[in-house]
Amino acid sequence: MPAILYPNTGSLWLAGVVQAALANSEVHLFQSGSVTLTPLTVLADLTAAEADYTGYALETVTAWFDPLLNPLGGASIESGLLQFSIDAPYTVSNMIGGWWVEETGGELVCAGEFPTPRPLAGAGDGIPFNIELVFGG
């Protein structure tokens, strides 16, 4: 079967379709050591491992940034900076393994792991990150 090529216009169009579909999507965190991400991962796997540290709350991405041609090929959209932090007093801590994006209808869209687990255990602990989704290329 011949390779499929997404020209820049097609990549930008596809990224725009996903950008619109992800308006008001949610980003959640999951605890380290409780999920192994595979193509067979389902939402129930992630919600069973969802973070529960003191003050945990999911982040809503009202609008993803507009599609841009990605330097590595294709087009991409980004969530913008997300910041998760623990509240005082610190009664429940977690080691965070990664995140997932859930669209407004409750469908699991994608998930990712941090290179190393990140602690949310005490004063000043937080996890700032940006999600970049790439299409085509």
Q: What is the pLDDT of residues 54-113, one digit of tens each?
A: 999 999 999 999 999 999 999 999 999 999 999 999 999 999 999 999 999 999 999 999
The answer to whether position 84 is within a domain reads yes
In a domain? residue 3: no
Q: Check if the beta carbon of residue 110 is closer than 8 Å to that of residue 133.
A: yes
- Asked if residue 59 belongs to a domain, the reply is yes
pLDDT of residue 1: 67
Domain that holds residue 65: 8-135
64-69, long-range: CB within 8 Å, 24+ apart, which pairs?
Answer: 64/18, 64/19, 64/22, 64/23, 64/25, 64/133, 65/19, 66/16, 66/19, 67/11, 67/12, 67/15, 67/16, 67/19, 69/8, 69/11, 69/12
Kindly report the average pLDDT of the chain as a whole number.
Answer: 96
Q: Is residue 1 part of a domain?
A: no
2 part of a folded domain: no
pLDDT for 4 equals: 85
Contacts for 34 with CB less than 8 Å, ≥ 6 apart: 48, 49, 97
State the total domains in the chain.
1
**pTM above 0.95?**
no
Percentage of the chain beyond pLDDT 90 is 92
Give domain status of residue 107, yes or no.
yes
Q: What is the mean pLDDT of residues 7-11?
A: 95
